[in-house]
Structure 1
């Protein structure tokens, strides 16, 4: 769930680190706390004397295993995708203390709310055609970039397909650049602006569209809209691989306690895909 850490001491450390980052980056915090999944991140509105309204987001990890790849995603995406709507990144601050490393990013504040407070969609969304057209343009631009960053590895596909789908791994997989975490909490209602680029990297072609569809399965009406608007990415041999990949990933996450309510529709979703005619891309 999107909530503070269960450990009060950890919450205190995150709060203190966020305050330190605000001082270092010269901002005044102006709004309430917003915690990420299981208290992993902490964000708050802030005000900068030059940039105006901003968003200050803090992440943390043990100092012994610094997640460079994850934390560089936002800066890399901003550099290689200037035409894709995303929050402008103003500054970054890192601080090591007490065996932990804290990474803070100061970005432009977005006035538009996100489509859902939770990655899993739970109520129908009525989004205009221009919203979907913009998303298609953004996903096309992302997929054409070249990056050495990796979102999903082939070895992981080989492992999870048999375990979570009961299927052999795909024989062929085409990898392209992807946002890497495209769900309803990372898309704004106006635009859309795509946020939280820390997972930017290579994944099976069509993965972003497939993941958004998988997160929509509790709302069949919106899931059908995703299928229709992103059919050019989903209704292909590569799109089938991507959809199975998204199902396997969310089922693996559910095995660790994340979004268990998705398990029944994900299993039905994967079963239907598994019955589809074979293609050159899938064994």
Structure 2
């Protein structure tokens, strides 16, 4: 199959024409999209189908696929005890005009809408049942086994990446060795979870990661709403109080405070304060 977007420039599917891609997937999966339900993100497009399913289409560079492939949604279907959509099938193809591949995964429809954008600006007022289901799902996920390695932001997470990220962002000399690696969603944000009924979706990047990555990621995406960030830390206290959880909090803070940070990002001050606190704790032993 051949699609027209070029690898010579950055591609943002929120603004690229995608009708050709949608037509291609319709032919391959033998269904029709409800074009009124199309949701565009930077590197993916999704929509409801005429057989009451949902299809997510992603464009990914060959350099971001790696040896384990990029069948995360398919592999996640065997995970148990987690609130997530059922996987039905997929179609994958390499673009003949660019060094990229396309993948369309068909899953069950979600029980609700995404809680919000990835980073929230106001409290979504989620019921206690939502938090209970989230905790049950994250605990069930961490208790399972996989050979997959998580790829947050499409980058494989390794010990060297954790160490480099923390040491580059913060002046510290404590040991950054991760003690426990467990399965993680690796892209836990408010756009990938539904409410008021909890479901976790977009499983492309899941795999083993340092304990606490998911908890720290959700906390980092909640910092603009202090009460919400506090609720995340309270609900996932066991992660945050662990040494690995503290390292993951620094890992997330390093991303927030990085060179591309917007000077008016409301998360900057709380992230900087939390990072300073954790650095002191880890240096104190």
TM-score normalised to structure 2 length: 0.83
Question: Per the alignment, in what secondary structure is the counterpart of residue 184 of structure 1?
Answer: coil
Q: Identify, as 1 or 2, the structure richer in helix.
A: 1
Which residue number in structure 2 is paired with residue 25 of structure 1? Answer: 29
Following TM superposition, by how much is the alpha carbon of 1:192 offset from its aligned partner in structure 2, in angstroms?
A: 0.9
Following TM superposition, by how much is the alpha carbon of 1:111 offset from its aligned partner in structure 2, in angstroms?
A: 3.8
Which residue number in structure 2 is paired with residue 42 of structure 1? Answer: 45
- Alignment check: 8 A CA contact 1:59 1:104 kept: yes
Which sits farther off after the overlay, 59-68 or 107-116?
59-68
- Alignment check: 8 A CA contact 1:113 1:188 kept: yes
Separation (CA, whole Å) in 1 of partners of 2:64 and 2:225? 38
Which residue number in structure 1 is paired with residue 130 of structure 2? Answer: 131
Structure 2: gaps spanning 5 or more residues: 1-9, 151-156
Instruction: State which of 240, 247, 252 in structure 2 corresponds to 1:241.
Output: 247
- Alignment check: 8 A CA contact 1:86 1:195 kept: yes
Which residue number in structure 2 is paired with residue 75 of structure 1? Answer: 74
Following TM superposition, by how much is the alpha carbon of 1:88 offset from its aligned partner in structure 2, in angstroms?
A: 1.0
Separation (CA, whole Å) in 1 of partners of 2:122 and 2:164? 33
Separation (CA, whole Å) in 2 of partners of 1:34 and 1:263? 29
Which residue number in structure 2 is paired with residue 91 of structure 1? Answer: 89
Which sits farther off after the overlay, 124-133 or 165-174?
165-174
- Alignment check: 8 A CA contact 2:13 2:44 kept: no
Separation (CA, whole Å) in 2 of partners of 1:46 and 1:7? 19
1:238 to 1:7, Cα distance in 2 relative to 1, 3 A: closer
Separation (CA, whole Å) in 1 of partners of 2:65 and 2:245? 33
- Alignment check: 8 A CA contact 2:163 2:177 kept: no
Which sits farther off after the overlay, 102-111 or 243-252?
243-252
- Alignment check: 8 A CA contact 2:219 2:229 kept: yes
Question: Per the alignment, in what secondary structure is the counterpart of residue 216 of structure 2?
Answer: helix
Instruction: State which of 218, 223, 226 in structure 2 corresponds to 1:217.
Output: 223
Mapping of residues 148-159 of structure 1, within 5 Å: 148-151=147-150, 152-159=157-164
Question: Per the alignment, in what secondary structure is the counterpart of residue 145 of structure 2?
Answer: coil
Structure 1: gaps spanning 5 or more residues: none
Separation (CA, whole Å) in 1 of partners of 2:48 and 2:122? 26
Mapping of residues 175-186 of structure 1, within 5 Å: 175-186=181-192
Mapping of residues 136-215 of structure 1, within 5 Å: 136-151=135-150, 152-168=157-173, 170-215=176-221
Question: Per the alignment, in what secondary structure is the counterpart of residue 102 of structure 1?
Answer: strand
Separation (CA, whole Å) in 1 of partners of 2:13 and 2:58? 16
Which sits farther off after the overlay, 124-133 or 85-94?
124-133
1:95 to 1:260, Cα distance in 2 relative to 1, 3 A: farther
Following TM superposition, by how much is the alpha carbon of 1:165 offset from its aligned partner in structure 2, in angstroms?
A: 2.5
Q: Deviations over 1:143-190 (max 9, x none)?
A: 111112112210101211111223345144321111111111111113
Separation (CA, whole Å) in 1 of partners of 2:262 and 2:23? 29
- Give the aligned length: 265
